[in-house]
Structure 1
Amino acid sequence: MYGRERLAASLAAPEITVAPGVYDGISARLVEQQGFETGFLSGAGVSNSRLAQPDVGFLSLPDIADLTRHLADAVDIPIWVDADTGYGNAVGVHRTVRRLADAGAAAVMIEDQEWPKRCGHMAGKSVVPFAEAVAKVEAADAARREHAPELLIKARTDAATTRGLDEAIKRLRAFADAGADIVFADALTSEPDIRHVAAEVDGAALSVNMGFGVRSRPTTPLIPARKLEAMGVDAVIYPRLITAAATAGMQRALGELRTAIDTPETYEAPDTVVDWESYMDLVGKPAVDDLEARFAVDDEETAD
């Protein structure tokens, strides 16, 4: 259900699992149409796109659960869901995992930051004590076992930049022991650090964050997916790619519109937008047409 078994099989395979970030139905369907096997519902992407706000803890469980439900209905690929800190203590995490499992998540990610959390690549973050972080993963695992056994649990630590790499490794090991299927240390700042984590952590699939995917950041270096695979990384997410690309595309389109407004002659920039037929296909109009034809009622019968 919801691609959970397919996602587990992908993570267990020798090839690295690639998960572009998604933030709405169109982005998820584009990821699916481009042949990617899974997508990652990015909390940062949702906060940026829905609220025009940074990733600093403005989202709630109802926000994410509602969007998860829509995405699970829109695509057939499994969707990982970013649940921030789990929206509370260990009891809150237990409820969050149940809600997101019901909404159709294939995997749920929780992190060990103090609330309000912030993007792992921003300054000013802090993490909860070790025991509390582990207890939250244990609660997530318990909720999964009791309610949705095929759901995958991803546990993230932000300890590398706040308490050092050794503490991050300690937490990842404990998360794996507590039942996490996937572990993730965010904002690792060098290739040697990623190699070291990959060598020191086992018992769960290892994930890393490559941000934009096609553009470097001042924190984690940009490393090709196949090189990460050779380094022992099992999964890579690109949570910032589509939101940043959509922003660039909207800026270009609005610039072209400004030119069209200021030009007395008809002005076209067809490469700025997709064509009508492609767009209707993307949003599922042919499927709606098929349903309308299937359930059409004869006008004469209606009149009777």
Structure 2
Amino acid sequence: MPASLSARRARFRAVLQGPDCRHPASVFDPLSARIAEDLGFELGMVAGSTASLAVLGAPDLVVLTLSELAEQVRRMARASALPLLVDADHGYGNALSVMRTVQELEGAGAAGLTIEDTALPAPFGGQGGAALLPLEEGLGKLRAAMAARQDPSLVIAARTGAFALEPEAAALARVRAYSEAGADAVFLTGITRLEPLRAVRDATALPVLGFFGALDAAALGALGVRVALQGHQPMLAAIGAVRDTLAALRAGTPPPR
């Protein structure tokens, strides 16, 4: 294990063990990772949606393959020392697939990754909308992820959208179960108020990560949130700038001299 990768993972763990909530940079390619590092971001987030756009030029329909994601992470880790938290979706299949996912992303240089309990891809004939795996299947995937890692400093976060899909009591039961199974952190979506986070704080002492809308970072930090995403504005801005520039050139606007 190159010392530089262990050092990046140690830096990520220092964020998780600290007292404050940090906003990661949404990064999607080597150049964006280098820019985020130069600007002093403590952490970069590689989302499935932005990775799909960067690699395939397509929306996040769970058609990006593990090898494509791992290769993109490898390029980013080679170009920058920014610790990368990677959205590993559902682990690209069952528990055995999750083990392969962890091996590939660890080898690519990820500092941490999330494994979620959403039923992906959506089954044929479904009624639409997200659905969760049974809790025991989610636990099986999490345990497989932890068994597969070689570097114990690699962060494995259990991700769940249960707060948007189940009653709060059921969602909290998932948080407790993933905590007791040995996850390093929990990554939560579907929470836009502080009250559920107070209940999460009572359910687990693990660091909390996730997307919490416009909630104040200081208030989030007081409730154990250590990483709060702010969305993926950098890629949207980059797409807009490229389109506007090409449109101007196509329309005959001369480039600056």
8 A contact 2:30–2:79 mirrored in 1: yes
Deviation (angstroms), 1:187? 2.0
In structure 1, the residue matched to 2:86 is 81
Deviation (angstroms), 1:206? 0.4
| C-alpha separation in 1, matches of 2:121 and 2:107 | 25
In structure 1, the residue matched to 2:205 is 203
The aligned length equals 248
8 A contact 1:22–1:28 mirrored in 2: yes
Alignment of 1:153-302 (within 5 A): 153-197=156-200, 199-210=201-212, 221-258=213-250, 261=252, 268=256
AA at the equivalent of 2:219: K
In structure 2, the residue matched to 1:63 is 68
Q: Partner of 2:236: helix, strand, or coil?
A: helix
Gaps of 5+ in 1: 118-122, 211-220, 271-304
Q: Identify which of structures 1 and 2 has the higher relative contact order when contacts are C-alpha pairs closer than 8 Å and 6+ apart.
A: 2
Normalising by the residue count of structure 1, what TM-score does the alignment of the two structures yield? 0.75
8 A contact 1:16–1:225 mirrored in 2: yes
8 A contact 2:56–2:64 mirrored in 1: no
8 A contact 1:40–1:239 mirrored in 2: no
Larger of the two Rg values belongs to structure = 1
Q: Partner of 1:18: helix, strand, or coil?
A: coil
8 A contact 2:44–2:84 mirrored in 1: yes
Runs of 4+ in 1 over 6 A off after TM superposition: none
Gaps of 5+ in 2: 123-127
Q: Partner of 1:234: helix, strand, or coil?
A: strand
Alignment of 1:6-45 (within 5 A): 6-45=11-50
Deviation (angstroms), 1:256? 3.8
1:223-262 Cα deviation digits (max 9, x unpaired): 2323322333121123422212212322433344355x15
1:75-132 Cα deviation digits (max 9, x unpaired): 1121111111011111111121111111111101110011216xxxxx7111110000
Deviation (angstroms), 1:185? 1.7
Alignment of 1:107-146 (within 5 A): 107-116=112-121, 124-144=129-149
| C-alpha separation in 2, matches of 1:267 and 1:29 | 26
8 A contact 1:20–1:239 mirrored in 2: no
